[in-house]
Amino acid sequence: MRSLSSLGSRSLAHRPGRTLLTGLGVALGVALLFGVLVANRSVNRSFERATERIPTTFNVSLTRSDGAVLSDDVIVRTFALPHVSNGEVQPDRTELRVAIRGIAATDWQNQIATPALGPDIVFGRIITIGGEQQPDNGFREFRESVEGTLAAFSAVSLFAAGFLIYLTFTTAVLERTALYGLLRALGAHPSQIRRAVVVESLTLGAVSSVVGLLLGFGIASLITRLLAEALGVATPPSEIQLWAVTASITLGVATSVVSALIPARRAGAVEPVAAMRGDHRAAGALSRWWIAGAAMLPAGVGLGVRFPSLRVAPVSATLIVVGSVLLVPPLLKPVARALGVATTRLSRNGRIPVMHLVKERSRSAYTLALIMVVLAMAYSLAAADTSMHDALDEVFDHQYRTDLVVFRAGAPYQPSELAAISRQPHVRAMTALGLGRTTVADRTANVVVIDPASYFGMLSFAWRDGDDRSAAEALRRGGAALVPADLAARAGVRRGDPILLSTPDGSRTLVVAGTFVRFGFLPDMGVVVGPTDAVSFGVAGPVALRLNTVEGTSTSEIVNEVLAVPGPGFTYTQVQTVAQLKEVVIGSVDRYFRLFFAVVLVALIVGLLGLANTLGMSIFERTREVGVLRATGMHRSEIGRMVVVESITLALAAFVLSIPLGMIQAQLLTRGTREQLGFGGGGSQPVWWLVPVGVLATVVAALAALLPARRAGRVEIVDALRFE
């Protein structure tokens, strides 16, 4: 041994079980972070490559009907045609994309291009919704919010991993206090001891981070797949960048070292005589850190309420989580005592472990905090998920109360086409919607043009403030808009207030005739105006239909009837039943949440490792006590059961404390999702979800107690009584 610092690595090797548990916690934290970074990058690059290939100015595509390569002659002649302002040949030369200006694309095709280029050329439309082409505007916000939320969750997981290291080193320092006292007695400076502890954490952090990186490759491909699914893009290959590797390793190592700093300081401050006399075990004293927690928690809540954006979420979430964690120690004693009334019944000697929990407050409290944070995460996610499903149901009950949803890209429906569809034998009722774009309070939003007469005869809105009759009247008169509640809140307007909306010709002020809940995944959810205001927003005509069918109509019958009405030649029509549409939307929501639940699951495993680690440590420290209990007649199984009682009491206390934290986080998460993405939902608390979360806590506790309980039961009396 060349220096005291290598004592650290010896100690790690001496306790392989605990080292493995802690290392695995760090590795999982790093793996998760790395996975999220790589997945975000891969999906982003894939998305960028896709959008790079479709410049927003091109609106018509030309290909040969036989799919062959376009000749130079055709390309040159196309560029020479009137109204072609720009164009681009695709790399394989089978497609030419052009930007048509100053004439409707349909007219350009019919009147200019087809006569000039001949019947072999097929025209397609590069789809745009509404007036100005902004293909990824809303999508980008959605993507950023998903990434932000993922980053926040992985930060919490890394925090949990850091916490695990802190717990391990705190207990390891406590356990080795006598050793540090001896080293001080032999002439070691406090700085040498601090360095030894830091080097130990550095070693553990570095090795675990490298392992985490390897695990991260697997997690990256899983998250990439889930993320691509949630965003509705093809799963791209993982793109690994040097900075992602560096950032993950650095964060893993830094978290390890920072987490070990406080225990290292404690180790260095050990007084030799007190350490060797055993006075250091008076660790139950309550520190004053809870005061900082009492300040941080409301600050985090305030920040989250004031700035509900998901981008601020990581900061407010960190303040809330750290604040709550610091508040746990003073709460542990009363909560554990209260729960102990029930859990002590699980074992004849159940009082002993509950007493230990209360006595060893510091370590128990922070382990409990770790579990509490993860359970709160699970609950808040469940609440957000439930809230979204509720909002979806509410929106579908009001705004999609029809049988069929039709969307046509390429060209708006002409009045004659609408009349033809409405005359089809299985169509009972129909209303048409036009789509445009606007900006409200710096947020891009769709404009939905409805015909109040037909719309309110079939459908309604999920009103927050308003009613069908007054809304229909206001839209019929014009100069009025129905505004999604989230946009109204963002713009700071209520029903009856004026609202400023952008149009292709500048800004326009309309009066808010009502506010309603919308659902962000659905494109025809935006600011609703009547036909008289459609022109202001550059909406040429309806592009979507809602149909009610005659009873007994099959889907294929109605689809055929809708498609039987000929369009202008190059349109794309999508016909879906409302049930199909709902299924698609629910699928998107579920994919989105599956991703987050996967992250929470990893955090839960980290929490489980923390609990197992703490229990193991607790049993180790009480080896002599276990020996005495065995010597005085306690069975091995009873000793094991005591450990389980301790674990379950701890986890249930964490569960109890996670309820208010989870509810706060759920409110903020739902609010953030609503404000940022326009997903509705009133932020209702799915209290019934507490049951599975409580069961989850108990299962985690039982799993975490397995090994420590087995070890405690196997303690040999003579060895234990000899234990120092």
Partner 1 sequence: MKIYGARRALDGVDLDVARGAFVSVMGPSGSGKSTLLHLLGGLDTPDEGDVVLDGESLSTMDDRDRTLVRRHRIGFIFQAFNLVPVLTAGENIALPAVIDGERPEAYEKRLQAVLDAVDLRERRDQLPSELSGGEQQRVAAARALFVEPEVLLADEPTGNLDSRSGTELLSVLKRAQRDHGQTVVLVTHDPAAASFGDAVVYLRDGRVCGHLHVDGEGGDRAQLVLAWLQELGA
> Which tokens belong to 422?
């409405």
Is residue 280 within 8 A of residue 51, CB to CB? The reply is no
285 binds partner 1 (CB under 8 A): no
Q: Is 469 exposed, middle or buried (0-12, 13-18, 19+ CB in 10 A)?
A: exposed
Q: Which stretch binds partner 1 (CB under 8 A): 178-186, 387-395, 559-567, 699-707?
A: 178-186
Name the pairing type of β-strands 527-529 and 480-484. Answer: antiparallel
Report the distance separating Cα 60 and Cα 126, nearest Å.
5
Report the distance separating Cα 276 and Cα 670, nearest Å.
54
In the complex with partner 1, the residue whose CB is nearer, 272 or 504, is 272
Applying CB under 8 A, among 4, 245, 511, 706 the residue interacting with partner 1 is 4
- Half-sphere exposure of residue 436: CA atoms within 13 angstroms, side-chain side: 27
Distance of closest approach, residue 189 Cβ to partner 1, in angstroms: 6
Distance of closest approach, residue 711 Cβ to partner 1, in angstroms: 18
In the complex with partner 1, the residue whose CB is nearer, 271 or 638, is 271
Distance of closest approach, residue 174 Cβ to partner 1, in angstroms: 16
Within residues 253-282, the interface with partner 1 by CB under 8 A covers 271-273, 276
In the complex with partner 1, the residue whose CB is nearer, 184 or 426, is 184
Q: Which stretch binds partner 1 (CB under 8 A): 1-9, 70-78, 480-488, 635-643?
A: 1-9
In the complex with partner 1, the residue whose CB is nearer, 273 or 291, is 273
175 binds partner 1 (CB under 8 A): no
Distance of closest approach, residue 188 Cβ to partner 1, in angstroms: 5
Residue in this structure with the two tokens 């690595």, named with its chain if needed? 9
Intra-chain end-to-end CA distance of the chain, in Å? 25
In the complex with partner 1, the residue whose CB is nearer, 13 or 718, is 13
Q: Is 257 left (phi over 0), alpha (psi -120 to 50) or beta?
A: alpha
Distance of closest approach, residue 14 Cβ to partner 1, in angstroms: 4
Nearest-CA neighbor of 22 among 620, 648, 606?
606
Which amino acid, residue 184?
Answer: R
In the complex with partner 1, the residue whose CB is nearer, 185 or 286, is 185
Please enumerate in sequence order all residues whose Cβ is within 8 A of that of 294, keeping only pairs 6 or more positions apart, or say none.
Answer: 323, 326, 327
Report the distance separating Cα 692 and Cα 398, nearest Å.
31
Distance of closest approach, residue 702 Cβ to partner 1, in angstroms: 32
Residue in this structure with the two tokens 């987490």, named with its chain if needed? 259
Applying CB under 8 A, among 41, 184, 333, 546 the residue interacting with partner 1 is 184
Within residues 192-231, the interface with partner 1 by CB under 8 A covers 192
CA quadruple 422, 404, 400, 579: dihedral, nearest 10: 170
110 binds partner 1 (CB under 8 A): no
In the complex with partner 1, the residue whose CB is nearer, 173 or 651, is 173
Measured at the CA of 174, the angle between CA 250 and CA 697, to 5 degrees, comes to 70
In the complex with partner 1, the residue whose CB is nearer, 273 or 579, is 273
In the complex with partner 1, the residue whose CB is nearer, 202 or 701, is 202
Q: Calculate Rg over the CA atoms of the chain.
A: 32
Applying CB under 8 A, among 101, 189, 359, 423 the residue interacting with partner 1 is 189
14 binds partner 1 (CB under 8 A): yes
Distance of closest approach, residue 720 Cβ to partner 1, in angstroms: 15
179 binds partner 1 (CB under 8 A): yes
CA dist list (Å): 424 to 16, 272, 402, 429, 563: 76, 94, 17, 10, 11
Distance of closest approach, residue 200 Cβ to partner 1, in angstroms: 11
In the complex with partner 1, the residue whose CB is nearer, 133 or 177, is 177
709 binds partner 1 (CB under 8 A): no
Residues in contact with partner 1 by the rule CB under 8 A: 1-4, 7, 10-11, 13-14, 178-179, 182-190, 192, 271-273, 276, 724
